[in-house]
Amino acid sequence: MTGKEDLFTPVHKGLRAMMYDLSTRLQTTDFTDRVATQALATDLEVDFAIARSAGCFLCAFAAHAHDEEKVVFPRSAAAANALVSELIRDHQGLTRRELEIGERARGLASLSSREERMAAGIHLNQLANDLFAAYFAHMNREETELVPVMREHFTDAEQAQMRGAIIAGFQPDRLFALLGWMLPALNVSELTDLIGSVKAGAPPPLMKAVAEIGAARVDADRWAVVRQNVGI
């Protein structure tokens, strides 16, 4: 049994795009500017009670890990128990890093001294770099080790069912926020497959919403090719 489904790479591309953007903001934010500091701190807030929403960058990372552990990992453990156990331990370590960054961000804007905010901002950037490095390695491992296992042990239809179960748990704001990062991060072939799948199985209002996100976020030349390929 060897399929072509990949539950990880497309969404990982979206998460990587979020990290690239956040890394750039951390590097370029003037932490002596209280307003700019507060804006960044808000996007770094960690509230896992709302982690299933689109409320913040770190919540998006946490929600992705939650989705994997709830839907994908239990099914995959029978075929790759040791690997799944290690990936779950990775999630626990990533969560600790996310919580520390959120805590640092909360305290950052309240610092009255420009010099203190600058020093704290430098440290926050370093913590985020460590998180991103660990997260990139983790996602690469899921793509290079777990994706082949799932293709061997699950049909494309079974994996599509898992994806459907994950999406069914999304609030609309979280789904559309994730698509806003994911669609422009995909190549034309990946976009064609994804949009074609949505067209084939989603109700027309959802298809319309996804197409609007694609038109707004994907560069015009790539989106024109996808529209022609899919027939939308």
Residue with more model confidence, 110 or 214: 214
Residues in Cβ contact with 130 at an 8 Å cutoff, skipping those fewer than 6 apart: 97
Residues 144 and 197 in one domain: no
Residues 52 and 152 in one domain: yes
**Look-up of token digits 């919403």:** 209
In a domain, 59, yes or no: yes
The mean-pLDDT minimum among 76-85, 107-116, 131-140, 185-194 falls in 107-116
Residues 133 and 232 in one domain: no
The pLDDT of residue 60: 84
- The span from the CA of 176 to the CA of 192, in Å, is 18
The pLDDT of residue 55: 52
In a domain, 47, yes or no: yes
The pLDDT of residue 3: 64
Q: What is the mean pLDDT of residues 31-37?
A: 90
- DSSP-derived secondary structure letter, 54: S
pLDDT tens digits, residue range 147-200? 999 999 999 889 989 988 998 888 888 888 889 999 999 999 999 988 988 888
In a domain, 230, yes or no: yes
pLDDT tens digits, residue range 198-219? 888 788 898 999 999 999 999 9
* Furthest C-alpha separation in the chain: 61
The pLDDT of residue 51: 40
CA-to-CA dists, residue 124 to 110, 128, 131, angstroms: 14, 6, 11
Residues 206 and 139 in one domain: no
Note the pTM of the prediction, 2 decimals: 0.89
For residue 94, what are the domain limits? 9-171
In a domain, 197, yes or no: yes
- The span from the CA of 112 to the CA of 31, in Å, is 11
Q: 3-class DSSP state for residue 45? A: coil
